[in-house]
Amino acid sequence: MPKLTQLITITTTIIIAITLLASLAYSFTPSPRVDKIQVDWVGYSNFPELVNSSKVIIYGRVESIQSFGNNTGIPYKNFRFKTLKIAKGSGDGMLILNVIVQQIGKDEYGTRVEADGDPLMKVGEEFVLFLTGGEGSGLSTPYGTSSGPWGRFKVVAGTVAPSAPYWPQYKGMKLDQFLNEIDNAMGVKSTYKALWEGKPEITNETIWSYRAKSVYNIPEWLIETWGCKISMRLEELRGKGLILYSVGYAGDGRIRVGMATVSNENVNILLETIRGDVPPGVLIIGKDSPVIPLSG
């Protein structure tokens, strides 16, 4: 009979051989063929032009591939994005927490088709997206990036990686700094300086009254942007002990925020949390009660 050490040696040799064979099989697995489509992208002369021509600007993560197909002969792939931060809202009354983004190209029968210079996105990747389209509802009608790779900035480890060779000046820029560049391009902090330096209106009354139009003439997309930024902080506020029961629009170019108890402590928690994102002077803070769903 073979000794125990011989059996161990034979077994180990077999395991190593199997591992090597598996490794070789993996290394020789052919990569999918990639066919390139030539697309003449419409460029932008400067960054503010990109910012102001985009309907929606978000920082988000690819959550899933929703669908793919051909649109007038052009292959496409639809990606569902989870919004992590919003820089610009659409003004159509929709809270843009999840959007569908369409990109040219698709995978089919072992072949990948994609636009030259614009590789298909992957689940788990993060981007700052400059979007157009999406009329009606971005949840059902896909958005497209503003001229393909011109409007898509990949985010890796908190830094921006533009699609080469577009916007090289932003390569390696920290995400927060890049989002601040977008704010500067929109000019919202300079145009509405009085609102950023102002204070919120605070009342112990329930705030449902509609008033005259704001003297600041704030566009709807900007009001929605600020409202979305507050709504995206609800869980963070809850963790600090503040529950907001409503975030809406007062009809006079301001944002109505409702909470159960209006106190200096609660107001300060809100203002500290949204500092730099929403101007205090655009807020009306008052009482509200939780929405109780109807039973039956």
Q: Which of 32-36, 58-62, 213-217, 246-250 has the highest mean pLDDT?
A: 58-62
Residue 20, in any domain of the structure: no
Do residues 124 and 200 both lie within one domain? Answer: no
Q: What are phi and psi of 267, to 5 degrees?
A: -65, -40
In the predicted model, is pLDDT for residue 91 greater than 50? yes
**CATH number (domain holding residue 57):** 2.40.50
Residues 152 and 211 occupy one common structural domain: no
Residue 141 lies inside a defined structural domain of this protein: yes
Check pLDDT > 70 for residue 224: yes
Residues 74 and 106 in one domain: yes
User: Which two tokens mark 157?
Assistant: 């480890």
pLDDT at residue 205 in the model: 80
Residue 24 lies in a domain: no
Range 95-99 average pLDDT: 75
Tell me which of 186, 215, 241 is where a domain ends.
186
Give percent of the chain with pLDDT exceeding 70.
80
Average pLDDT value over all residues in the chain:
83
Please check whether residues 182 and 194 belong to one and the same domain: no
Query: Can you give 40-73 as a three-state secondary structure string?
Result: CCCCCCCHHHHHHHCCEEEEEEEEEEEEEEEECC
Cis peptide before 165 (omega within 30 of 0): yes
Say whether pLDDT at 106 is over 90: no
The verdict on 194 and 179 lying in the same domain is: no
3-class SS of residue 151:
helix
The model's pTM: 0.81
Residues 173 and 252 reside in one and the same domain: no
- In percent, the amount of the chain with pLDDT more than 90 equals 51
- Is residue 204 assigned to a domain? yes
Six token digits for residue 28 = 């020789």
Domains in the chain, number = 2
The pLDDT score that the predictor gives to residue 97 is: 76
Confidence of residue 33 (pLDDT cuts 50, 70, 90): confident
The residue among 94 and 91 whose pLDDT is bigger is 91
CA distance 104 to 113: 8
**Domain endpoint, select from 132, 155, 186:** 186
- Residue that is last in its domain, among 155, 186, 217: 186
What whole-number distance in Å separates Cα of residue 122 and Cα of residue 114?
Answer: 13
CB atoms within 10 A of CB 192: 19
In this prediction, residues 242-256 reach a mean pLDDT of 87
85-91 mean pLDDT? 87
CA angle 26, 15, 22 (to 5 degrees): 5
How confident is residue 35, by pLDDT bands cut at 50, 70 and 90? confident
Q: What is the pLDDT of residue 68?
A: 82
Mean pLDDT of 22-46: 69
Range 129-141 average pLDDT: 70
Residue 280 lies in a domain: yes
Residue 111 has what pLDDT?
82
Write the DSSP assignment of 188-207 as a string of letters.
Answer: HHHHTHHHHHS--EEEEEE-
Residue 206 clears pLDDT 90, i.e. is over it: no
DSSP 279: -
**135/200 same-domain check:** no
Across 65-72, average pLDDT: 79
Structural tokens at position 37: 């489509």
Q: How confident is the model at residue 194 (pLDDT cuts 50, 70, 90)?
A: very high
- What per-residue confidence (pLDDT) applies to 251? 75
- What is the pLDDT confidence band of residue 136, given thresholds at 50, 70 and 90? low
Residue 220: which H helix or E strand, with range? helix 220-231
87 and 176 share one domain: yes
Domain that includes residue 194, residue range: 189-287
- Confidence (pLDDT) at 94: 59
Tell whether 87 and 215 lie within a shared domain: no
Give 37's strand partners.
115
Residue 173 backbone phi and psi in degrees, to 5: -70, 140
Identify the residue with better confidence: 37 or 9. 37
Q: Would the pLDDT of 164 be above 70?
A: yes
Lowest mean pLDDT among 66-75, 222-231, 271-280: 66-75
